[in-house]
Amino acid sequence: MKRAPSRVVELERMKGRTLTEEPAAPEEIAQSPMYGVALLKIAMELKRAPASGLDEILKGVLERMRLDEPAFRRFLEQNGGLLRQIAHKKAL
Q: Does residue 26 lie within any of the structural domains?
A: no
Average pLDDT of span 55-74 = 92
Q: Does residue 58 lie within any of the structural domains?
A: yes
Residues 46, 87 contacting (CB under 8 angstroms): yes
Whole-angstrom Cα distance, residue 82 to residue 59? Answer: 17
86 by Cβ neighbours in 10 Å (0-12 / 13-18 / 19+) ranks as middle
Domain count, the chain: 1
DSSP 52: S
Q: Residue 91 belongs to what domain range?
A: 34-92
Phi, psi at 67, each rounded to 5°: -105, 150
Q: Does residue 47 lie within any of the structural domains?
A: yes
Helix or strand or coil: residue 8? Answer: helix
Q: Does residue 48 lie within any of the structural domains?
A: yes
Q: Which of 25-29, 33-37, 51-55 has the lowest mean pLDDT?
A: 25-29
Q: Is the predicted pLDDT of residue 53 greater than 80, yes or no?
A: yes
Average pLDDT of span 15-22 = 59
Average pLDDT of span 36-61 = 86
Q: What is the dihedral of CA 34, 37, 41, 43, to 10 degrees?
A: 120
Q: Does residue 8 lie within any of the structural domains?
A: no
